[in-house]
């Protein structure tokens, strides 16, 4: 029978990319439901989309939910949508600073923010400097999300400043959204390769086509149900010892029941797990990395007799 011995010099450490669930993925359900369903479906944590729901703005309440469901807050999405125009006032700089403050208070490592609208004046002109200033002040990553061009009555509209594509910006951290990449006609794998270490956060979803193809909606399909190279990007990140978070931001509004919604959430995380192969590295005994998720196993050698 085999005799198994353990090396006393090192551990084999399996580093797994964290897979989170955005609260927007269970819209229109309440924030607590996102934590509960994330736990049931097997996610590693939650991204908070700050909305008019006061729970999303309250660090103490979020920390209580994180403890109750054993679901840490991985990231905060700043309130930049039309529906959140009046959340934390009208000043976009204040919104971003409060998002960074909330991230610090909940232990989230990342704030996701969209590029400014062109009509947001001084904020748009100073956006990149503001991002760097707040990152330094609050000690959290502020990752600018890729958006897409606007088309009104068949004509292009310059809606964002300095632009909709952070790949071309002089910024330190980027969030890659597959649905937005599809709508803009970009290839997400090419974007990820170009970004290199600037890619710090991923919104896991998919899209079926671009504005040029006649698409007009930001679809946020389940990964694998569109045309973006989602699996290839995840594999690319896993192969490069990437230590950011992948957060599911999918549309489940057509789910007729909790069972239906859970099936969609589980399909998404199973896709993510399948394409984020664990990375192995050797570390000194009793040394473990705490982030991302780490599982330490003794290195084994086998002698057959």
Structure tokens at 17: 């990319």
Give residue 7's pLDDT band: very low, low, confident or very high (50, 70, 90): very low
Q: Read off the pLDDT of residues 10-25 as tens digits, 9 standing for 90 and up.
A: 554 556 899 999 999 9
Of 106, 124, 134, nearest in space to 163 by CA: 124
Residue 111 has pLDDT above 50, yes or no: yes
Across 200-210, b (16+ Cβ under 10 Å) vs e yields: bbbbbbbbbeb
Burial, 211: exposed, middle or buried (Cβ in 10 Å; 0-12, 13-18, 19+)?
A: middle
Whole-number pLDDT of residue 150 = 81
- Over residues 230-245, the mean pLDDT reads 95
φ, ψ at 256 (rounded to 5°)? -90, -15
Q: Output the pTM of the full model.
A: 0.86
Sign (positive or negative) of CA dihedral 55, 60, 62, 66? negative
- Over residues 84-90, the mean pLDDT reads 93
Question: DSSP assignment, residue 285?
Answer: T
Sign (positive or negative) of CA dihedral 253, 163, 146, 100? negative
CB atoms within 10 A of CB 295: 12
Residue 9 has pLDDT above 80, yes or no: no
């Amino acid at each position: 029978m085999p005799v198994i011995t353990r090396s006393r010099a090192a551990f084999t450490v399996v580093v797994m990319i964290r897979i989170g669930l955005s609260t927007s993925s269970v819209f229109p359900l309440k924030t607590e439901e996102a934590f509960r369903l994330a736990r049931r479906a097997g996610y590693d944590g939650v991204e908070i989309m700050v909305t008019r729901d006061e729970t999303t703005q309250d660090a103490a309440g979020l920390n209580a939910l994180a403890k109750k469901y054993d679901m840490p807050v991985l990231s905060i999405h700043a309130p930049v949508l039309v529906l959140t125009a009046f959340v934390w006032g009208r000043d976009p700089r204040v919104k971003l600073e409060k998002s960074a403050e909330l991230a610090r208070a909940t232990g989230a490592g990342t704030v996701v923010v969209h590029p400014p609208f062109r009509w947001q004046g001084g904020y748009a002109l100073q956006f990149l400097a503001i991002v760097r200033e707040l990152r330094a002040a609050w000690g959290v990553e502020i990752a600018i999300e890729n958006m897409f061009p606007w088309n009104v009555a068949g004509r292009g509209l310059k809606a964002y400043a300095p632009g909709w594509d952070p790949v071309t910006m002089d910024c330190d951290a980027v969030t890659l959204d597959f649905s937005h990449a599809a709508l803009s006609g970009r290839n997400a794998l090419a974007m990820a390769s170009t970004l290199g270490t600037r890619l710090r956060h991923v919104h896991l979803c998919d899209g079926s086509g671009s504005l040029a193809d006649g698409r007009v909606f930001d679809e946020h399909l389940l990964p694998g149900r569109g045309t973006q190279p989602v699996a290839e990007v995840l594999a690319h990140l896993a192969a490069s010892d990437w230590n950011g978070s992948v957060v599911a931001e999918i549309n489940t509004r057509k789910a007729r029941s909790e069972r239906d919604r859970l099936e969609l959430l589980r399909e998404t995380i199973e896709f993510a797990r399948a394409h984020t192969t664990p990375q192995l590295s050797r570390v000194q005994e009793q040394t473990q990395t705490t982030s991302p998720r780490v599982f330490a196993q003794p290195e084994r050698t086998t002698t057959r007799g």
